[in-house]
Amino acid sequence: MEPTAPQPDRQATASDETTTPEVSAGLSPTVAQPASLPTIYTPASEPGRLRNDRPDRRTTRNYSSLKETPYHGAIVVDARSGKILFEERAGTYGYPASVTKLMTLLLTLEAIDRGETALNDRVRITAEAAGIGGSQLWLDTRETDLTVEDLLYGIMVHSANDAARALSIHVAGSRAAFVERMNQRARELGMNATRYVTDHGLPPGDSSQPDISTPYDIALLSLACLRHPKTLTYSGTELHYLREGATMLATRNALAKRVDGYAGCDGLKTGYHQRGGWSLAATAERNGRRIVSVVLGSPDKATRNAISRQLLDRGFEALETNR
C-alpha cells in the first residue's frame, strides 16, 4: 500500500485554479453531447505507438519544482491508432495536480460498470471530505441529496477537491483504499512512472512528494478514459448546475468552451499547483479523428492553453499529411 498523505489544510494549500462555484438561478445547464467516437486505441507493445510494457521507473524523489517554459514535457497522440505524433521530454517526471482527477473519474466509472455503485446513488458527505481545501463545492456534512453523478460533474467541470474525496470514500471506503486502487490501475495501464498519493491532486501539506506522473503516462490514462463512453459527458460539459440550480459549475478548460474554445475539444482535464505549474490533458475530435495532447508544467495558464492549441493543430496536420 502506498503511504498516506497528510490532510491538506483548507487555508494553506494551493489548488487547481481555485474559484468558488457561482450561484445562479433559473438557468439551464450547458451540457456537452459526446461526439461520435472512433475506436480508441488499447496500448500494447507496438513501436511508435503508446506502449504499456515499459520497465517500472516509479520514484519517491521529491522535487521542489517541475515546470519550465513553455512546458516541462509534452506529447501528442492519435487516439485511434495510438501513434505518437509529437513528443518532447514525454518521459520526464511532472506534477499533474488536478489532472490526477482523470484517474478518480475512471475508477468511479469502472466501479459503476461493476455494479458497486450507481450514478444516482446518494453520497454521504463526511467531515473529511468537507474539510478539503482548494477548489471545492463547499460540501457540508448535512447534505444528503448529492449523487455520484453530481460529484463526477463536480470533479470534471469544477475540479472540486472535496468532491473527489467524497467519491473516493464512497467507492472504496477510505481515501487510502482508493489511492491504492489508483496505483494498481496505473500499473495495469502501463503507467510506469506514475505514483499517486491523493485522490484529487492537491500537494500534501507537509511538502512531501505530490502525485507524480509523466506526459506519456497521462496519455495512457487519457486513452483509458476515452475508451469509457461516459467520460466526454463530464469532461466536455461547459456549464452544470447543482443544488436545484443554486450552484453553477463552469469548466476550467478554456479549450472546451463554446466561445473562443478549440474546435472539436471536449476534454479532458486541467491541473495547477505552485510546484507543478499549469498542465492540461486535452482531446479534440474532427471528421472522425481524435487527438490527445498532454502538456505538463507550463509557467502560466496562458502559455499552457496556447501551446495545447498548437499541439492539437500539429496533431491534426500530421494526420492530414499521412492520410
pLDDT digits (tens, 9 = 90+) for 148-188: 999 999 999 999 999 999 999 999 999 999 999 999 999 99
Give the mean model confidence (pLDDT) for residues 287-310: 97
**Fold observed for domain 31-321:** Beta-lactamase (3.40.710)
Answer whether residue 294 shows pLDDT above 60: yes
Answer whether residue 35 shows pLDDT above 70: no
> What is the rounded end-to-end Cα distance, in angstroms, of the chain?
46
Q: Are 241 and 249 in contact (CB under 8 A)?
A: yes
The per-residue pLDDT for 199 is 97
Q: Please, which residues have CB within 8 angstroms of residue 150's CB and are 6 or more apart in sequence?
A: 123, 242
Give the mean model confidence (pLDDT) for residues 131-144: 94
Distance between CA atoms of residues 63 and 88, nearest Å: 20
Answer whether residue 212 shows pLDDT above 80: yes
Q: Given pLDDT bands bounded at 50, 70 and 90, which one contains residue 27?
A: very low
Q: Are 219 and 50 in contact (CB under 8 A)?
A: yes
Q: Given pLDDT bands bounded at 50, 70 and 90, which one contains residue 205?
A: confident
Answer whether residue 7 shows pLDDT above 70: no
Q: At what angle do helices 215-226 and 101-113 cross, to 10 degrees?
A: 30
Residues annotated as catalytic (active site), given as ranges? 98, 101, 159
Q: Given pLDDT bands bounded at 50, 70 and 90, which one contains residue 34?
A: very low
Answer whether residue 191 shows pLDDT above 70: yes
Give the mean model confidence (pLDDT) for residues 58-71: 95
| Region of residue 270 (left: phi > 0; alpha: psi -120 to 50; beta: else) | beta
Q: Are 279 and 304 in contact (CB under 8 A)?
A: yes
**Cα–Cα–Cα angle for 128, 140, 18, rounded to 5 degrees:** 80
Helical (H) or strand (E) element with 170: helix 161-172
The residues spanned by each domain of the chain are 31-321
The per-residue pLDDT for 321 is 85
